[in-house]
Amino acid sequence: MSSLLPKRLLPTIIYLTILLTSSSPTPSLAAPAPLPAAAEPSAPDVTKLFNGLGHIFVLNATSYSDASISDTIGCLSDTGYVVSTFSGFVSESESQSKSNCAVFSTITSYPKTINSRIGGCSFGNQAMPTNEDSKYGARQHAWSCNEDAGMVPEGERYYTINGFKHPFICNGNLNCYYDIPRAPLPAPSSSSKEDSNTKKDKVFVWQYAWGSEQMGITPGHLQVLWMWVPVGTKAE
């Protein structure tokens, strides 16, 4: 096994090895191991918030324990790029009416991924660019939402963790941080969402991969969290 493999992939590889040698016809997915520090008794169970419809805000944050919505630098679009929330971000409630952000829906059944208006979202689309600036990103494709829902890699489910102060979205084996090349440009004030902002300036999201040769975020990139901001109930 190459020492160039990012450390965060090792548990997955071990898990997959177990999976491949297991005779169980319906294997369960890798369980998220360590929980954040025990939740305050009064803290809300964020796992109850992460369902139905929501925006995904992108927070410039290196620690889930002290990140909050005020660290927002953008949000995810229908195609899966980072875009500016809108000009003049004021509050969480206002963001829901004046948003530049896509509305996503959680999928509660296997494989527990996320959909946008366009389709299923994942890191599995081989047509997306890889994270070339990263020591470990050469084979990692950017997140995207695509009509082809069959591309979701094994184990890439999305969840949050009871004990987080906010519903930060993790995937796979405790991948709770993401790697983006830069903050999005501010959105022009009167414009259609996606086109104005992302055609010329596509800000991709990659998994945050690190290892002995690159201990932190890709040089020059931003380490971010994804925060689920519910927009209502899945009633339609």
Ligand X SMILES: *[C@@H]1O[C@H](CO)[C@@H](O)[C@H](O)[C@H]1NC(C)=O
Chain contacts with ligand X (rule: CB under 6 A): 60, 73, 183, 222
Minimum Å distance from CB 108 to ligand X? 33
Residue 177 CB-half CA count within 13 A = 19
With tokens 């086109």, the residue in question is 195
With tokens 């997306």, the residue in question is 128
Q: Which residue's CB is nearer to ligand X, number 62 or number 214?
A: 62
Q: Which residue's CB is nearer to ligand X, number 71 or number 154?
A: 71
**Nearest residue to 165 (alpha-carbon basis) of 27, 32, 68:** 68
d(CA 141, CA 143): 7
With tokens 């090349």, the residue in question is 181
**Nearest residue to 36 (alpha-carbon basis) of 168, 134, 142, 157:** 168
Minimum Å distance from CB 28 to ligand X? 37
Q: Which residue's CB is nearer to ligand X, number 84 or number 146?
A: 84
Minimum Å distance from CB 183 to ligand X? 4
Q: Which residue's CB is nearer to ligand X, number 60 or number 162?
A: 60
Minimum Å distance from CB 182 to ligand X? 7
Q: Which residue's CB is nearer to ligand X, number 73 or number 142?
A: 73
Q: Which residue's CB is nearer to ligand X, number 149 or number 183?
A: 183
d(CA 75, CA 122): 16
CB-CB contact of 79 with 116 (8 Å)? yes
Minimum Å distance from CB 128 to ligand X? 23
**Nearest residue to 114 (alpha-carbon basis) of 196, 50, 61, 49:** 50
Minimum Å distance from CB 226 to ligand X? 15
- What pairs with residue 59 in β-bridges? 72, 225
